[in-house]
Amino acid sequence: MTAAILVWSISIAQVMLVAAMACYAYRLIRGPRAQDRVLCLDAMYVSAMLLILTVGIRTADVIYFEAALIIAVLGFVSSIALAKFLMRGEVIE
């Protein structure tokens, strides 16, 4: 019984995270200015990381934790680079 509850709640959580990514993708395409698009790209990285963590809970495999950590680092670095580019017009001065 509790196993079924766990399976169902992880499935519902994955659907919610995919819906969140769809909202961000809509704003990414429609966003009026460049800073909205960078913000949504950063938030999509975090949502993808959470989705991979839930997949890790579902399969009880530790490899997904490392994938989530790598995605978090990549999202941070790319968002910083894009924000720097919006501010100064170049990334490395």
Partner 1 sequence: MTHALDLPPWAALLTSVLVLVGAGLALLGAIGTLRFGSFFERVHAPTLGTSWGTGAIALASMVCFSVLGSRLVVHELLIGVFVSVTTPVTLMLLARAALYRDRTEENSNVPPRSSLQGVPRRQERRS
Q: How many binding residues for partner 1 (CB under 8 A)?
A: 53
Residues near 20 by beta carbon (within 8 Å), at least 6 away in sequence? 47
| DSSP helix/strand/coil, 5 | helix
Q: Which is nearer to partner 1, 62 or 92 (CB)?
A: 62
Query: If you count them, how many residues does the chain have?
Result: 93
Cα–Cα distance, 64 to 86 (Å, whole number): 33
Residue ranges that bind partner 1, judged by CB under 8 A: 1-3, 5-10, 12-14, 16-17, 19-24, 26-27, 33, 35-36, 38-40, 42-43, 46-47, 49-50, 53-54, 56-58, 60, 62, 65, 68-69, 72-73, 76, 79-80, 83-84, 86-87
